[in-house]
Amino acid sequence: MSLTIPLSDLKDGAPTRVDLDGRAVCLVRLGGTVHAVDDTCTHAEVSLSEGEVDGATIECWLHGSRFDLATGRPSGPPALTPIAVHRATLTDDGTAVTVELTSDQTDERNRA
């Protein structure tokens, strides 16, 4: 399953939470690029889209771990586990983005 969202619905540098196939996903538009990552911090059940975007990272508002939006890796504790990075592809006309869960995340969810 995928979700297509007009780019105009995403404010530059502001995280947006969407639900994709039952999974909370955080979208971050940085200019003409859109990142899609899991919305739940890997340290605790906290929504990352309520945090701040700083450069190409998103900061968890509860304890301050920052996650790289391209790789999902945390920059430091307390979070040690990366968040999942999903596929975000601009449409041919560049006016919208299509978001898909990465296949390994889909597999993981199906095993649960």
CA distance 6 to 1: 17
Asked whether the beta carbons of 84 and 100 are under 8 A apart, the reply is no
Number of residues that bind ligand FES (CB under 6 A): 10
Least separation in angstroms between CB 37 and ligand FES: 13
Name which of residues 1 to 40 contact ligand FES (CB under 6 A). Answer: none
- Least Cα distance to 25 among 75, 64, 79, 69 occurs for 69
| 40-79 residues near ligand FES, rule: CB under 6 A | 41, 43-44, 46, 60, 62-63, 65, 78-79
Least CB distance from residue 90 to ligand FES, whole Å?
Answer: 29
